């Protein structure tokens, strides 16, 4: 397994979908994972250090893990099947290790809150990832394009989130 970290969040300009970019901790390869807007917001808020008076969903789940006497040991992004990524939360409670199936986006949001390491396998980085240093063609365009369509520094993101108003969001109808 290869340890990765959240390098940035972006917005795919072709699908208008948020993308979390994971970069190997001791290397140059990155793994883009397309995620939902609410998970992107949860990741962005944690990266920006924003805290709320009441727990949001990922904060609640982190509190439940701790409240039950567990700790999040690591997140494993294990595979991709039909363009869907799979992940596992590895929780330790006493001597017991519990593996919980989860979406990578939720897993990343929780890992950030609990300061847990995130891992993926070498095969995913080779097949689904792109190279940062010396990248050519689509990989280079993708990474440079991030700057144009939503890759934000923590300070910019914090300012953006601070300016959001309830009217900026569409009405949710289930």
What are the average pLDDT values for consecutive 10-residue runs of the chain, which has 174 residues?
92 80 90 90 89 90 97 96 93 97 97 98 80 36 41 55 48 36
**Overall domain count for the chain:** 1
pLDDT for 102 equals 97
115-141: buried (b, 16+ CB within 10 Å) or exposed (e) per residue?
A: ebbbbbeeebbeebbbebeebeeebee
Which DSSP letter does residue 26 get? T
Domain residue limits at 135? 2-168
139 lies in some domain: yes
Q: How far apart are CA 49 and CA 88, in angstroms?
A: 24
pLDDT for 155 equals 58
Q: How far apart are CA 51 and CA 55, in angstroms?
A: 8
174 lies in some domain: no
9 lies in some domain: yes
40 lies in some domain: yes
152 lies in some domain: yes
pLDDT for 99 equals 98
173 lies in some domain: no
pLDDT for 109 equals 97
pLDDT for 3 equals 97
Q: What is the pTM of this model?
A: 0.75
Written as one string, the DSSP assignment of 52-120 is: -SS--HHHHHHHHHHHTT-EEEEEEEEEEETTEEEEEEEEEETTEEEEEEE-HHHHHHHHHHHT-EEEE
Which CATH number is 78's domain given? 3.10.690.10
pLDDT for 160 equals 58
Residues 6 or more apart whose Cβ sits within 8 Å of residue 102? 87, 88, 89, 110
């Amino acid at each position: 397994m290869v340890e990765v970290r959240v390098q940035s969040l972006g917005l795919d300009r072709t699908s208008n979908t948020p993308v979390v970019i994971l970069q190997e901790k001791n290397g140059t390869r990155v793994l883009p994972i397309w995620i939902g807007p609410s998970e992107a917001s949860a990741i962005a808020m944690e990266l920006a250090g924003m805290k709320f008076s009441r727990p949001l969903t990922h904060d609640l789940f982190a509190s439940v893990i701790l409240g039950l006497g567990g700790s999040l040991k690591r997140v494993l992004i294990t595979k991709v099947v039909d363009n869907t990524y799979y992940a596992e939360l590895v929780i330790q409670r006493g001597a017991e290790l519990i593996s919980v199936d989860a979406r990578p986006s939720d897993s990343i949001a929780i890992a950030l809150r609990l300061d847990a390491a995130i891992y993926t396998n070498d095969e995913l980085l080779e097949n689904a990832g792109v190279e940062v240093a010396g990248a050519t063609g689509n990989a280079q365009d993708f990474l440079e394009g991030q700057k144009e369509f939503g890759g934000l520094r923590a300070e910019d993101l914090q300012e953006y989130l601070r300016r959001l108003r309830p009217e900026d969001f569409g009405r949710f109808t289930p």
